[in-house]
Amino acid sequence: MALTMVPDPRNYFPLIPAAVLAVILAGCAGQVPPGGGPRDTVPPAIVRTFPDSNAVRAVPDAITLEFSKYVDRRSVEESIFISPYPGDLRYDWSGKAVTFTFSGKLRENTTYVVNVGTDVADLREGNRMGASFTLAFSTGDSIDRGFINGRVFDEKPEGVLIFAYRLSGLLPDTLDPSRVKPDYVTQTGKDGTFSLAHLAFGPYRVFAVRDEYHNFIYDREIDQFGVPPGDFILSSREPVVNDLWYRLSKEDTTRPFTAGVRAQDRRRIGVRFSEPLDSASFTKSTFTIVDTLSARPVPIRLVYLDRFQPSVAGIFTDVPLDSPAVYRLTVRGVADLAGNLINGGARGEIFEGTLIMDTLRPSIRVQDLKDSARGLPLNPVIEVRFTDPVLPFSLSGGAVLRDSMSRDVPARSLWTGAESFALIPRGPLPAYAWYTLRVAMDSVRSLSGRTYSDSMFVFHFQTLDLRNTGSISGIVRDARGGKIVLTASSINITPRHSSTIRMGSPGPFAFAELPEGKYTISAFNDSGGSGEYAFGVPAPFRPSDRFTVFPDTIRVRARWGVEGVLVKFR
């Protein structure tokens, strides 16, 4: 009888105590990912289920899912959605498989849909499922056949939940996703696509929600939302709805408030708000300043909203402030961009006066451009900004546009704020040419009387070289008609370039003078006529504008036109 000699492990670990060595050797039997080799990039998948998919007359006590690899258990448990809701779930794991039971009793003659979302990740590399998984079975004799698919368009479209509500038996106007959990739930994949299968026939309203709390409820001001352009009906004649598309937004129901007030000098006060304000409401607002000791009001000469930082406002007083006097500022009538009015009943903001005098003369610059900027469009809008509010002066004589031959170029100027004005040529400028904007600084005077003397602000720029541009043309088709807003946006040009066309109705379009590069094209039906995309409101329900996206990127080449582009609304 032959004997095989087995080396004593203690010969290899002579300094390790026996008890510790036993633990080490026992640990060798555990699951340890193999080291080295290529990185695992394969997403996990579901390879076996109980009951089988599309099973009928099935009344299981539990449901089992088996994965192709070891997965993070928590990611699975947070990604399982069952419709209709069968009650709380209890999970039991065994290797790569999970079995879950439900606290409630399954309904008769009902199709149940188990959706497993894309948040499921494997243990080794954190690879997530590439698409959601659906298991359907029926406690009756047939499986529901309703089906919808769509897509969420967003910078981060993956992992958004789709809430489907069946409207049968309820008033649609009363549906509030912040209070009611959906009848069906699924999750978007990496590219934002989703599908909901095996839906019962009937009317539906479907929302997209980035459910931050994983509570299957839309939490206002926390969750991003996407509202559909309308409701729809699944029926035996039309069991499928395709191309349900969403853009995400976030609801704002919080009133703005003053977040800080500071006396910058004896005549100027800076006011910072909690969020950007609506400029139209600002013109109707009321600002009052009161000395808290004497209760005397401080007369105000000017109140202005910073055009480029709309959460910041400035106040210029008629009389100088004092120190150590304390003042109270009260603001009424302003609203944020969502239309929420500031709380007019607030006690106001307390701030201290100062003895600092304004000794700085206003400086000037062109907004968002550096001197000798190149590649400006042939119809530029050049916005000039001062560091302080200035007294209006004659822009026709104080601001002049000239070409490279020092000839005056016809242009109009208009004040856009207390600190800024815009200069706009009266017609398209020649391409690939240099121009100079000159502002006579001796005509510029701040509200405090500061000015420059015998000086000139000079800004140079060059227009676009049309030899480096191309065009895109085609047609927009929309059976419903209406106003269309069409935009071409670059994806590989720095700085990014975009061009927008507003159309009175669907039809031919042409984008000209596009810098060479790759572009995407999108469009929306401007139902309100505002020129801005309407995201809609979840409750009370207000539908979004319909939109479409051209499916491919378009390469624009210099001196070349891309023709025949069809932008079609679904």
Range 337-340 contact pairs with CB under 8 angstroms and sequence separation of 24 or more: 337/252, 337/275, 337/276, 337/277, 337/278, 338/251, 338/252, 338/253, 339/278, 340/252, 340/253, 340/254, 340/255, 340/256
Q: Are residues 324 and 297 in the same domain?
A: yes
Does residue 104 lie within any of the structural domains? Answer: yes
pLDDT at 1: 38
SS (H, E, C) 429-449: CCCCCEEEEEEEHHHCEECCC
Give the CATH number for residue 167.
2.60.40.3710
**What is residue 10's three-state secondary structure?**
helix
CA dihedral sign of residues 71, 74, 80, 84: positive
What pLDDT does residue 37 have? 65
Which of the listed residues 299, 324, 352 is the one where a domain comes to its end?
352
Task: Give a yes or no: residue 12 inside a domain.
Answer: no
In a domain, 529, yes or no: yes
Residue 452 lies in domain: 364-464
1 part of a folded domain: no
Q: Is residue 11 part of a domain?
A: no
Residue 38 lies in a domain: no
**Alpha-carbon span 429 to 409, nearest angstrom:** 9
Q: Do 327 and 436 lie in a common domain?
A: no
User: In this structure, are 173 and 316 located in the same domain?
Assistant: no
CA atoms of 306 and 311, how far apart (whole Å): 7
Looking at 189, 217, 250, which one is the last position of a domain?
250
Nearest of 148, 145, 135 to residue 58 by alpha carbon: 135
pLDDT given for residue 430 in this prediction: 96
In a domain, 193, yes or no: yes
Q: What is the 3-state secondary structure (H, E, C) of 490-510?
A: ECCCCCCCEEEEEECCCCEEE
562 and 451 share a domain?
A: no
The last residue of one of the domains, among 250, 274, 295, is 250
Same domain, 93 and 197: yes
Measured distance CA(178)–CA(181) in Å, rounded: 8
What is the C-alpha to C-alpha distance for residues 103 and 212, in angstroms, rounded to an integer? 25
**Judgement on whether residues 450 and 483 belong to the same structural domain of the protein:** no
Residue 516: predicted pLDDT: 93
Say how far apart CA 253 and CA 221 lie, in whole Å: 7
This prediction has a pTM of 0.81
Same domain (yes/no): 264, 229: no
Spatial distance between the Cα atoms of 148 and 446, rounded to a whole number of angstroms: 62
- What CATH number does the domain containing 563 carry? 2.60.40.1120
Residue 235 and residue 121 share a domain: yes
CATH at residue 318: 2.60.40.1220
Helix, strand, coil % over all residues of the chain, rounded to 5: 5, 45, 50
Looking at the structure, tell me whether residues 233 and 117 fall in a common domain: yes
- Rounded Cα distance between 333 and 135, Å, is 54
- Residue 438 maps to which CATH number? 2.60.40.3780
Output the tens digit of pLDDT for each of the chain's 570 residues. Answer: 343 343 444 443 344 444 444 444 444 444 445 555 688 899 999 999 999 999 999 999 999 999 999 999 999 999 999 988 898 899 999 999 999 999 989 999 999 999 999 999 999 999 999 888 999 999 999 999 999 999 999 999 999 999 999 999 888 999 999 999 999 999 998 899 999 999 999 999 999 999 999 899 999 999 999 999 999 999 999 999 999 999 999 999 999 999 999 999 999 999 999 999 999 999 999 999 999 999 999 999 999 999 999 999 999 999 999 988 999 999 999 999 999 999 865 578 999 999 998 888 888 999 999 999 998 999 999 999 998 898 887 777 789 999 999 999 999 989 999 999 999 999 999 999 999 999 988 878 888 888 876 688 999 999 999 999 999 999 999 999 999 999 999 998 877 889 999 999 999 999 999 999 999 999 999 999 999 999 999 999 999 999 999 999 999 999 999 999 999 998
Of 257, 254, 255, the C-alpha closest to 348 is 257
Residue 457 lies in a domain: yes
Strand partners for 424 = 412
Give CA separation, 151 vs 230, 310, 371, 443, in Å: 15, 33, 44, 56
Count of domains forming the chain: 4
Secondary structure of residue 466 in the 3-state scheme: helix
d(CA 290, CA 553): 59
Task: Let me know whether 81 and 173 are in one domain.
Answer: yes
Do 111 and 179 share a structural domain?
A: yes
Q: Tokens 């298991």 sit at which residue?
A: 135
User: 368 and 408 share a domain?
Assistant: yes
Instruction: State the Cα–Cα distance between residues 253 and 237, nearest whole angstrom.
Output: 41
Question: Do 435 and 464 form a contact (C-beta atoms < 8 A)?
Answer: no
Beta bridge mates, 50: 64
